[in-house]
Structure 1
Amino acid sequence: MERKMQFTLPPTLPEGCIANILSFTSPLDACRSALVSPTFRSAASSDVVWERFLPPDYQDIISRSSLKLSSLDSLSKKDLFFHLCHHPVILNNGSLSFTLDKWTGKKCYMLGARELSIIWGDTDTYWKWLSRPESRFSEVAELKVVCWLDIRGKIDTKTLSTKTTYAAYLVYKFAEFRHGFKRSPVNVQVKFEEEEGGVTSRVFLDPLFVTREQSQHRENGWMEIKMGEFYNEQGDDGTVACSLWEVDNFTSKHGLIIEGIELRPKRNL
């Protein structure tokens, strides 16, 4: 006697359960899941999911800026997340900015030029400070003339996302006329401040000599070049120092414009 096989479909998971599961994934996974079905689309847009993707201290970060948290209350948690991805929050009286990485939700910071230690940066003979409409900061630094180039920035790892590999990038451009950067590389290094030695690389800043692997153009017209990377384990590793210098060939240099140094999660492509 032939036996008939019977199959029963598992019951559909409640939307709240789906949302809770998605909250343990990533912003990218949640957006992809929204394509599965209307139920998944609704779950993937819920505040339960996007609250988990926001940093635990995001309210404190916003409160230290000129923004009012109440002005963002009308946004869903998903809309707030992407607002923080695309609209830098300016901190430290205009010298530091905070954003989120839209793929992972990890914290990104840019040390503005005023947050950096630039040798002779406050001497009118060598550098000038000016505003640029394409910059997120009220001031950037433009090099008038130096032979000794030395730019350094520091950040406390406790402000960054934990268990994350970060890369540091110099964000810069050139004035209409520049000199001293053709065929003249600079030294870059990223390391924990208390670390002995550290890996030093030599890179070109002049776009005529830099490779695509080293530098790229940003959407707002600035360029960026990778200075190095580090792994932030628990956030209590200390202070990370990012350095750029050229002090050996005594070539006169001018025309370099510095917006800042950005630290953001490294993407595994």
Structure 2
Amino acid sequence: MLALPEGCIAAVISFTSPRDACRLACVSTTFRSAADSNVVWDRFLPPDSALSKKDLHFGICNNLIHNGNMSFWFDLQSGKKCYMISARELNIGELNIGDGYLWKWFSTDEARCQFPMPDCRFREVVMYIGPFNEFEVSGKISTSHLSPMTTYVAYLVFAQHRIAHGSGAPIKATVGLVGSNNVQNRTFHFPWGFPRKQQDGYDDDCVPKERADGWFESELGEFFNRGDEDNELLMTISECEDTLLIQGIEIRPKKE
């Protein structure tokens, strides 16, 4: 394959992934030149920048957008767009009822001083201080911002607080287009301490999973984005009776 013209090598590499392209660049100087070419990175990014596609890809990975209230990056395996909507960008219920606080906002510095918390992408996090029956969180994102012909999965990203309490009762989640009857409903729960991976008929998708960044995530549902219309994807969580420290809602391509 080393005898092939650089353009042919670049064309082959363009059908892999950003991660594979970086690995193949280590094979030889010819492979590096081919893997760094715009022919390869054109397939991983929209063609709307004067920068080289490789520089643009890595230059905007994990960048904050929307006044610092949303994080944007590319999936290394597929090159598809990923987002996290911060807690501040979400629509949450009433802050308090009577003398009882339902929600309390913390700057990330304040939160780290008061209780252990993993590194956060955003300036603020919010704590739901249950148990109440007024819990509702929702987030929206335009489908035009997502990669076309892609199945996305939405996740609630949160931390377990040391005073976490609650009934462990099922929590309801809904994912679908605004105004559409074709939505996905899911029920999951937070068995605090997470000692049991399967119980009461729940499968692995219905219990929180610890992430590499130290936060936990619970799957809310899936959505297939055709990419031929500009709609709003709505993700809603309700009926929670547990104490949660929420970073946001993450939307990323489903692993094949």
Measured at CA, do residues 264 and 96 of structure 1 come closer, stay the same or move farther in structure 2, by a change above 3 Å?
Answer: same
Measured after TM superposition, the shift of residue 150 of structure 1 is: 1.0
Measured after TM superposition, the shift of residue 108 of structure 1 is: 0.6
The residue that corresponds to 2:113 in the other structure is none
Matched, 1:147 2:133: yes
Q: Which among 234, 241, 253 is matched to residue 241 of structure 1?
A: 234
Query: 2:162 is paired with a residue of what secondary structure?
Result: strand
Moved more, 106-115 or 192-201: 192-201
Deviations 1:160-193 (A, max 9, x none): 11111111000011211112142x1101111111
Measured after TM superposition, the shift of residue 39 of structure 1 is: 2.8
The residue that corresponds to 2:88 in the other structure is 114
Q: Give matches, 1:180-199, under 5 Å.
A: 180-182=166-168, 184-196=169-181, 198-199=183-184
Matched, 1:49 2:40: yes
Query: 1:195 is paired with a residue of what secondary structure?
Result: coil
Q: How far apart, CA to CA, are the structure 2 residues paired with 1:128 and 1:229?
A: 29
Query: 2:101 is paired with a residue of what secondary structure?
Result: coil
Alignment RMSD (CA, Å): 2.8
Bigger CA radius of gyration: 1
Gaps of 5+ in 2: 110-118, 199-203
Contact 1:155 1:239 in 2 (8 A): yes
Amino acid at match of 2:85: L
Query: 2:243 is paired with a residue of what secondary structure?
Result: strand
Gaps of 5+ in 1: 1-9, 60-68, 248-252
Deviations 1:219-264 (A, max 9, x none): 22110111001111125151111111117xxxxx453111111101
Measured after TM superposition, the shift of residue 122 of structure 1 is: 7.2
Contact 1:176 1:255 in 2 (8 A): no
- TM-score normalized by structure 1? 0.76
Deviations 1:3-38 (A, max 9, x none): xxxxxxx99321133213422443244345446655
Measured at CA, do residues 148 and 209 of structure 1 come closer, stay the same or move farther in structure 2, by a change above 3 Å?
Answer: farther
What is the percentage of aligned positions where both structures have the same residue? 43
The residue that corresponds to 2:108 in the other structure is 132
Contact 1:132 1:138 in 2 (8 A): yes
